[in-house]
Amino acid sequence: MIVILSILISIIVVLVLITLHELGHFIVAKLSKAYVFEFAIGFGPKLFVIKRKETWYSIRLIPLGGYVSIASDFAEPPKGREEEFEKIPDARKIDYAIKWKKTLFILFGPLINLFVAYILIFSVMFGVGYMPSDPNFYGQNFSTNSIAYKMIAEKEGIKPEEGNKYVSNHLKVAITGWNVQLVDKTQKDIKDWEFTVSKKESAPTYKEISAMFNHGKKEVYEYITKNNLDDQTIVKFQFEYLKLDNLYSGNLFLDKEKASDWATLEGTPISNWKKAKQITGIAIAPPDRYFKNGGQKLGYTFVETWNQSFSLLVGIGKFFTGDFSAISGPVGIAKSSIGTTTTATTSMTASRIFYVSSISANLFMLNMLPFPPLDGYKFWETLVEWVTKKEVSQKTKTIIYATGAILLISFIVVISIKDFII
């Protein structure tokens, strides 16, 4: 039920963003006095239509896109509007539009998506006052159930928060090391490990801290399973950390590492780990990125908008080098939307807004790819025609667009099948 609901919500989100995209094209077309036959939301048979003197506004059966139909000598007019087309002057057809107007018409759709992404990110930055769950920032957030949180709070003389939730890094620390001891009931040492992040002048980022724990958890778990250890084995943890000067930079309060006291894990940790098939209980999450002032927030809004847009190119690159989970289609987007309700974060609302902004930013970058029949290809095609003053033949355009559309649809189908399987 949750999956179905998430798919519906994701379809609505994508549909709204695509509608805004097409609205960008529509606005420029109207301002340019082009003759717009139809503004359609979705594809396929009409479900609902409002007929105006010139432009029809329709909602169609397949809610995975939309389009703006503009009069052109190189495209058939909508069925039933042939006589109307014969009366349209050339000046109002897209073929005869001034190149800069045609270029603006092409670009304004993707730019609307970019603008929406920016506004959403801006609203989070200045609404909640910080960027939630930023893995590129310093330190980490904690679950209130985290053994690391409890041990470090005890060492710092700070009362840990209660409940079952994730809290911001009010301890102002960045974990730099994790020490593990396995001993038998006679306190004889069985095995011990010291995992650390690379030392540098500033605090480690969450990505570095997470990589250390992931490596360590894998090594410890493999040792436990390989040697068939059970709950007769005593497990001890210790955490090393640095104190942060503030929560908006990686500056250190002191450059000297501190260490929590050693603590013996209570209960049956090894049985629990074997059941979960991994080491559990550390429970950290990406930290919230705070800002010193409004100028920093504004500047980072641009940075994050670019990062979200560029992530599509990174994902495509990873996909074609073997990381098939790097790109998602409609089904994958729906699955990730489920993640926004369970992700470790201190602000669920902000995380959901970021989820929508990332889709909008990705739609911008997707449409700007120089691949037919996307807007990016049309932009470069128009630019070349503008500079060379030579029009690409309609036959050539038709072949290129049809070939590109087939390849693009095939790629989307492959991605969708992958989303079902993985």
Q: Could you read off the pLDDT of 18-76 as tens digits, one per residue?
A: 999 999 999 999 999 999 999 999 888 999 999 998 999 999 988 778 899 999 988 88
pLDDT higher than threshold 90 for residue 151: yes
Q: 400: which 2 tokens?
A: 């290129």
pLDDT higher than threshold 60 for residue 359: yes
pLDDT of residue 334: 64
Q: What span, in angstroms and rounded, lies between the C-alpha atoms of 46 and 1?
A: 29
- Residue pair 398/372 in contact by the 8 Å Cβ criterion: no
Query: Among candidates 242, 274, 244, which has minimal Cα distance to 258?
Result: 242
Least confident of 231-235, 254-258, 367-371, 417-421: 417-421
Average pLDDT over residues 391-399: 89
pLDDT of residue 392: 87
Split at pLDDT 50, 70, 90, the class of 344 is low
Helix (H, G, I), strand (E, B) or coil at 261: coil
Q: 323: which 2 tokens?
A: 């990381």
Helix, strand, coil % over all residues of the chain, rounded to 5: 50, 20, 30
Split at pLDDT 50, 70, 90, the class of 113 is very high
Helix (H, G, I), strand (E, B) or coil at 169: coil
- Give Cα 65 distance to the centre of its chain: 20
Residue partners of 222: CB distance under 8 A and separation at least 6: none
pLDDT higher than threshold 80 for residue 112: yes
**145 versus 1: which is more confidently predicted?**
145
pLDDT of residue 422: 67
Provide the 10 A C-beta neighbour count for residue 347: 20
pLDDT higher than threshold 60 for residue 180: yes
Largest CA distance in the chain: 97
- Residue pair 133/162 in contact by the 8 Å Cβ criterion: no
- Residue pair 332/420 in contact by the 8 Å Cβ criterion: no
Instruction: Note the pTM of the prediction, 2 decimals.
Output: 0.84
Q: What span, in angstroms and rounded, lies between the C-alpha atoms of 116 and 364?
A: 10
Q: 229: which 2 tokens?
A: 């250890």
pLDDT of residue 274: 96
Going 69 to 71 to 73 to 78, the CA torsion angle's sign is positive
pLDDT of residue 186: 80
Residue 53, CA distances (Å) to 29, 36, 70, 269 in order: 16, 11, 15, 73
Question: DSSP letters along 100-139, please?
Answer: HHHHHHHHHHHHHHHHHHHHHHHHHHHHTSSBSS-TTSBS
pLDDT of residue 338: 59
pLDDT of residue 37: 96
pLDDT higher than threshold 90 for residue 15: no
Which residue, chain included where needed, has tokens 């759709």? 109
Mean pLDDT of the chain: 91
Q: What span, in angstroms and rounded, lies between the C-alpha atoms of 40 and 61?
A: 11
Q: What span, in angstroms and rounded, lies between the C-alpha atoms of 370 and 373?
A: 9
